[in-house]
Amino acid sequence: MSSVKQIGVVGGGQMGSGIAQVAAMNGIHVCLFDVDPPALSKASASVSASIARLVSKAQLSQSEGADALQRVRFTSNLEDFHQADFIIEAIVESEDIKKRLLLQLEKIAKSSAIFASNTSSISITRLAAATSRPHQVIGMHFFNPPPVMKLIEIVRGAQTSDETFAATKALSERLGKKVITSRDFSGFIVNRILMPMINEAFFALYTGVATKEDIDTGMKLGTNHPMGPLQLADFIGLDVCLSIMKVLHAGLGENKYAPCPLLVQYVDAGRLGKKQGIGKNKFAGEGGIKKCGLAYFVLVSFGACSQVQSNHLPATFKTVLKLSLPPSTVVQFDQRPNHELLLVQRCPSMTIVSIIHVLLLHYDASSFVSEFSVLAQEF
Ligand SMILES: NC(=O)c1ccc[n+]([C@@H]2O[C@H](COP(=O)([O-])OP(=O)(O)OC[C@H]3O[C@@H](n4cnc5c(N)ncnc54)[C@H](O)[C@@H]3O)[C@@H](O)[C@H]2O)c1
């Protein structure tokens, strides 16, 4: 394909708006489309603010900034893509929605247009197979934020042609990026290596190996990473990390990719990352696993109870408790109001109740251990 003159970007979120900005700053005319009008206004404001910041820092001249802004057009009409040589989709990470978009684009775009997907994890081969031009479909994986990050991971689907690959590589280099090339297997290169590391950091936290601060400091200073894996997960979004782990697990079929239960629980609790500030606020479940390990030890060693009931247990503690007990154990939590913690025991002993109270009151395992040993002697 001859040199790309006009790009279409679909999706004006974090990635799409950044990609449009990079293209405009590198002399290419861009049309940015989003289905959601507020998202389109937000994208427009974000590109303007980002370019203004670069001008204020003298990283762009006034006229370069103004020219770049002039090259971006925001539209709520996908038909405007009929002239685009190259279309990059950066919409929501859903295979069905992306496939539907490609089918729509096929009707609008010129026959020579290349379709690139910024997907983090979806198979390019499957996306391509949904179209009638699979050899013109490719993965173009930018990193966040696109104006800052120097890398583009190009992903060749099973049917991507050499010509499509060459045009995508040339465009990426025009955008000032370093290119790496991956075959189309789950996670490509970077996420396949990065996400299991983040998942393992969650396992280290979950099993009480260390505090989140020590895990992050260890990886920062011990391996020269600019930020620790938990902080990075916070930036990426825990929901994104979880969904990529699920894709790795399903796509590569190995248990080593199974998502950490604590990561699953954070996402279930709606703690998705930077927005909710997991890096700032201590999560109520942290350290709970140690107590649950001890609770499990007490319950099993003393064969004491078959059922736990309480309406005062924090939801996170309940989940962790369930996770740490053997699957056959029935744990029920009584929903009745004003119903204090109650253990239905096989060998009646109120000491078990006391122990569980201590477990609940003392999140710090070290202070718990001394009290636990006193209580244990009462048996
Ligand atoms: N966020 C990251 O760090 C990151 C990094 C690399 C790749 N990605 C990938 O980039 C893509 C976008 O991610 P994001 O973080 O920018 O998401 P985002 O949620 O910030 O933005 C997605 C945008 O797409 C729009 N949209 C949804 N469906 C649409 C449709 N059918 N047509 C047009 N617009 C539509 C939404 O309104 C929204 O504005 C995803 O595939 C994601 O996996 C994300």
Asked about 339 being catalytic, the answer comes back as: no
- Residue 109 belongs to some domain of the structure: yes
Asked about 153 being catalytic, the answer comes back as: yes
What's the pLDDT score for residue 275?
56
Q: How many domains does the chain have?
A: 2
pTM: predicted TM-score of the whole model, two decimal places: 0.74
Q: Of 70, 86, 75, 80, which Cα lies nearest the Cα of 24?
A: 70
Q: Which of 153, 182, 310, 324 is catalytic?
A: 153
Mutate to test the pocket of ligand 1, among 10, 32, 34 (most ligand atoms within 8 A of CB): 34
Residues 179 and 205 in one domain: no
Residues 14 and 104 in one domain: yes
What's the pLDDT score for residue 46?
95
What's the pLDDT score for residue 136?
98
How far lies 336's CA from each of 144, 300, 318, in Å? 47, 27, 16
In short, whether 120's Cβ falls inside 6 Å of ligand 1 is yes
Asked about 199 being catalytic, the answer comes back as: no
Residues 30 and 153 in one domain: yes
Asked about 191 being catalytic, the answer comes back as: yes
**What is the domain extent for residue 223?**
191-269
- Residue 274 belongs to some domain of the structure: no
- Residue 359 belongs to some domain of the structure: no
Residues 166 and 207 in one domain: no
What's the pLDDT score for residue 1?
59
- Residue 363 belongs to some domain of the structure: no
d(CA 162, CA 164): 5
Residues 89 and 163 in one domain: yes
DSSP-based three-state secondary structure for 341: coil
Q: Which of 120, 121, 199, 243 is catalytic?
A: 120
Atom 17 of ligand 1, residue of closest alpha carbon:
13
pLDDT under 70: residue ranges of the chain: 1-2, 275-379
What's the pLDDT score for residue 236?
85
Mutate to test the pocket of ligand 1, among 9, 14, 89 (most ligand atoms within 8 A of CB): 14
Q: Of 54, 57, 79, which Cα lies nearest the Cα of 65?
A: 54
